[in-house]
Amino acid sequence: MAANKGTGTSGWRWLGLLAAVCAPPAAAFQVCVGDVPVPPFISGDPRHPGTTERLMVDAGRQAGLPVELVRWPARRCYEQMRLGLLEAGVGAAIPANLQDFDFPGHPPGDPQMRIARTGIVLVKRQDVAVLWDGRKLALPQGQVPRIGARAGFRASTEAVRRLGLELTPGPNQSAQVLRMLQLGRLDLAVLVQDEAEALLARPDFSSLTMMDPPLLVSDFYVMTLRQLPEPLRQKVQRWWELMAQWRDLPAYRAPPSGP
């Protein structure tokens, strides 16, 4: 009897080990980073992730959160998050996002919990005179400027509305917005500064120039659904904390701009 009991105990141990080995991996936690490269933060290339993309994945691994980066147009990201079909995305702590999603920090959108900080800038044609001093925006004849940005770029909408103006609906890609500007269908375009610098370095956009100072300097965060299960919420909280701690480490720090 004793031998049988020992054999049974050993068998249960093997069954437990087998169950652990055969258990399905944890479901991926999907984070939408958009489909527009914003170097050095977002590369647009899964084979060579940007600094912020690596930060999200590495901190997620440490927090026990298997992060999967999703590269969809920004508008689709917001729609899927509102429907509860996507757990997280990248965005600025503007009123519309704070109303719809959860942000890290107390209060939500604490700058210390950001994953990136960058300027939001205006781009114009070099042959067009535009007055911009950081507070007032005007065209020579006093007409209302036509300002465009890529679809789903919520932070640009907020920045332009601070000037008492509205954005012209734009396509999904910033390069297409710049082509509209070149063709005279827009007077100005709004882009993330790092994105603008990369695009304006291309010969086909040599007729355009970035204006100074930026419309605003904005912090970006990983925002999540409000309806996350509590065990997952605890992992997300740890993930947020790790990203804030690691953000300025050399491996994730954006290189200085300029020559």
Q: What is the pLDDT of residue 240?
A: 98
CATH, residue 57 = 3.40.190.10
Domains in the chain: how many in total? Answer: 2
Q: At what angle do helices 174-182 and 193-200 cross, to 10 degrees?
A: 60
| 79 & 106 share domain | yes
| 148 & 227 share domain | no
DSSP symbols for 112-153: GG-SEEEEEEEEEETTS--EESSS-EE-TT-PPP-EE--TT-
Within-domain flag for 203: yes
3-state class (DSSP) for residue 105: coil
| 224 & 107 share domain | yes
Within-domain flag for 44: yes
pLDDT digits (tens, 9 = 90+) for 39-77: 889 998 899 999 999 999 999 999 999 999 999 988 899
Q: What is the pLDDT of residue 38?
A: 86
Is the model's pLDDT at 85 over the cut of 70? yes
- CA gap 232, 226 in Å, rounded: 11
Q: Average pLDDT over the chain, rounded to whole?
A: 88
Q: What is the pLDDT of residue 18?
A: 42
Is the model's pLDDT at 1 over the cut of 70? no
User: In this structure, are residues 91 and 81 in contact, taking their beta carbons and an 8 Å threshold?
Assistant: no
| 234 & 146 share domain | no
| 223 & 107 share domain | yes
| Full residue range of the structural domain in which residue 140 is found | 117-217
- Using H for helix, E for strand and C for coil, what is the string for 182-241? HCCCCCEEEEEHHHHHHHHCCHHHCCEEECCCCCEEEEEEEEECCCCCHHHHHHHHHHHH
| 175 & 224 share domain | no
Report residue 31's pLDDT band, with 50, 70 and 90 as the boundaries.
Answer: very high
Give the tokens for residue 63: 């927090």
Q: What is the pLDDT of residue 36?
A: 85
Over range 138-155, report the average pLDDT. 89
Q: What is the pLDDT of residue 154?
A: 87
Within-domain flag for 79: yes
| 130 & 192 share domain | yes
Q: What is the pLDDT of residue 256?
A: 52
pLDDT digits (tens, 9 = 90+) for 171-227: 988 999 999 999 999 999 999 999 999 999 999 999 999 999 999 999 999 999 998
| 97 & 209 share domain | no
Among 99-103, 145-149, 155-159, 201-205, the least confident range? 155-159
